[in-house]
């Protein structure tokens, strides 16, 4: 394993790489609340707002020019399947947070997406090397149905914490609730504790 392989992060949370109640699949199923949104690289914008020194806006070209990493990660869906060894390429969450200058009183992050999906996480669960804004999968552009052009991946959480078609993040001084979190899914979503519902 090298430092771009984060598949051993499970050791922080449990004994087994495959979380309890999950089965491994080699497929990559698509789960979306609604259809795959269209996007235009000329008008696409990504915004960083809220409790930051400087609110940021990126065009597609600007976002693609940010420093990026390629990581091998596992992917755990709350509906019970896990896919091992996904290779994602993208921008680390802390990279963006540093550029914006997150205020000391920020505690939570709300991700928003082009299909009006939202999801939320405590800031400390986002400030990790393996939380990526990914535009590449297995050496190719991220497929549109898996969230292309840009999605979040959260290998330490169930995958509903990773917004596909993400186009904005807001740093919040109070906890907030995303689309599935308002509908009964777990706020914390730790797969090794089987935190599926709240």
Please give the residue ranges that form the binding site for ligand MTE (CB under 6 A): 29-33, 77, 113, 115, 117, 146-147, 159-160, 162-165
Residue (of 47, 52, 169, 173) closest to 101 by Cα position: 52
What is the per-residue binding string for Mo ion in 116-135, x denoting contact by CB under 5 A? --------------------
Single residue of 48, 51, 52, 78 touching Mo ion by CB under 5 A: 78
Single residue of 133, 160, 171, 192 touching Mo ion by CB under 5 A: 160
Separation between Cα atoms, residue 104 and residue 40, nearest integer Å: 35
How many residues touch Mo ion (CB under 5 A)? 4
Residue (of 158, 27, 140) closest to 88 by Cα position: 140
Separation between Cα atoms, residue 51 and residue 103, nearest integer Å: 5
Give me the DSSP letters along 63-118: HHTS--EEEEEEEE-TTSEEEEEEEEEEEEHHHHHHHHTB-TT--EEEEEETTS-E
Nearer to ligand MTE, 146 or 156 (CB): 146
Nearer to ligand MTE, 2 or 26 (CB): 26
* Interface region with Mo ion, contact rule CB under 5 A, candidates 34-42, 70-78, 83-91, 129-137: 70-78
Nearer to Mo ion, 93 or 160 (CB): 160
If 0-12 CB within 10 Å is exposed, 13-18 middle and 19+ buried, where does residue 116 land? exposed
Nearer to ligand MTE, 86 or 100 (CB): 86
Single residue of 31, 55, 85, 124 touching Mo ion by CB under 5 A: 31
**What are the residues binding Mo ion (CB under 5 A)?**
31, 77-78, 160
């Amino acid at each position: 394993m090298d430092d771009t392989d984060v598949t051993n992060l499970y050791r922080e949370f449990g004994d087994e790489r495959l979380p309890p109640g999950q089965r491994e699949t080699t497929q990559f199923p698509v789960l979306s609340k609604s259809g795959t949104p269209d996007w235009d690289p000329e008008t696409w914008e990504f915004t960083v707002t809220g409790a930051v020194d400087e609110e940021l806006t990126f065009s597609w070209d600007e976002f693609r020019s940010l420093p990026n990493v390629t990581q091998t990660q596992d992917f755990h869906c709350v509906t019970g399947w896990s896919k091992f060894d996904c290779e994602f390429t993208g921008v680390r969450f802390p990279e963006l947070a540093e550029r914006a200058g997150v205020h000391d009183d920020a505690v939570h992050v709300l991700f928003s997406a082009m299909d009006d999906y939202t999801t939320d996480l405590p800031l400390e669960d986002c400030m990790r090397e393996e939380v990526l804004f990914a535009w590449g999968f297995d050496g190719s552009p991220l497929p549109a149905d898996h969230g292309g052009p840009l999605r979040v991946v959260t290998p330490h959480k169930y995958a509903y914490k990773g917004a596909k078609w993400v186009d904005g993040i807001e740093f919040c001084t109070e906890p907030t609730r995303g689309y599935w979190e308002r509908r009964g899914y777990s706020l914390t979503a730790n797969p090794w504790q089987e935190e599926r519902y709240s």
